[in-house]
Amino acid sequence: MFDEPMEDPAEPTLNPADRAREKADEFRVHAQLAAVFEGVRKFDARIIPGLNPETARDIQRTMGRLEKAKPADTPILPKESTTDAAGLLNLPKTRDLSTNDYHVHRRPGEVMIVRWLAGEEVEKLYERLQAHFDAALSGFIEDERANEWKLDEKAQAFLTALEAVKVNMAERLLRDPIRKLNIFVLSTQTADEINISYLCDHIMGVSAAELVGEQSAPPDEPSESDLAWFFKLFALRGMRDGVEQMCFFTFMQK
């Protein structure tokens, strides 16, 4: 989950099958971003500022330890990380924090956001992941086929390869192994620059000020620099007491 596309899918040196895989990766990453951050707009999630600073820092440090402990070739965490991973997933109980909502700690030019999901909330997120991916893929193909008469042989081959792409998001995110083997999985998504207005206005359906605070929000007529934030999202998944759980920790910096 949240592993980024490697290169520009439009790169002319790629063959049609490789281009199709790259384009599918682009849709998958966007589907993941949308599913994690659409809660306010779709599922009555709240943005709750005032997350205890020490709790926020503890989560940040623990996610950092888990990331360092994770083998390079798999998102599955080693057994020695079990205590840290289980503790993060259990924070809603131990710190009396709600699931589904976005818990926010703000500093000028810096924001930490934590969102936990459990049980049916996890089920719904997987449904939304698949729906976002399928809609993006089918919409792109439909738009391209509408102008099929303009396409050259390579473009036709690319679309044919893309139509053959099948991505099962739950399978891709190791959902069955998590539930059957009781493992913990951590993956990340990083962007040197994410458009804060796109994230807030388009995906979340809120103003940037509601998420990052008035002091850090872009002005009414923002420049590209005003809109660009560093973005890193940690996605931890696992089981606690027989309940499927997720913890999403986001660090953003202006």
pLDDT by residue (tens digit) across 118-157? Answer: 999 999 999 999 999 999 999 999 998 888 878 888 888 9
State both tokens at 87: 């503790």
Q: Evaluate if residue 44 carries a pLDDT over 90.
A: yes
pLDDT by residue (tens digit) across 170-184? Answer: 999 999 999 999 999
Per the CB < 8 A criterion, the answer to whether 236 and 85 are in contact is: yes
Among residues 248, 251, 254, the alpha carbon closest in space to that of 116 is found at: 248
- Output the DSSP codes for 26-60: HHHHHHHHHHHH-HHHHS---EEE---HHHHHHHH
Q: Any idea what DSSP says for residue 228?
A: E
Over range 221-230, report the average pLDDT. 96
Q: Mean pLDDT across the chain, nearest whole number?
A: 93
Packing angle, helices 153-163 and 120-146, rounded to 10: 160
Left, alpha or beta for 8 (phi > 0: left; psi -120 to 50: alpha)? beta
**CA pair distance 240, 13, nearest whole angstrom:** 46
Per the CB < 8 A criterion, the answer to whether 211 and 106 are in contact is: no
Per domain, the residue ranges of the chain are: 16-253
pTM summary value: 0.91
Over range 68-81, report the average pLDDT. 96
Per the CB < 8 A criterion, the answer to whether 5 and 26 are in contact is: yes
Share of the chain above pLDDT 70, in %: 95
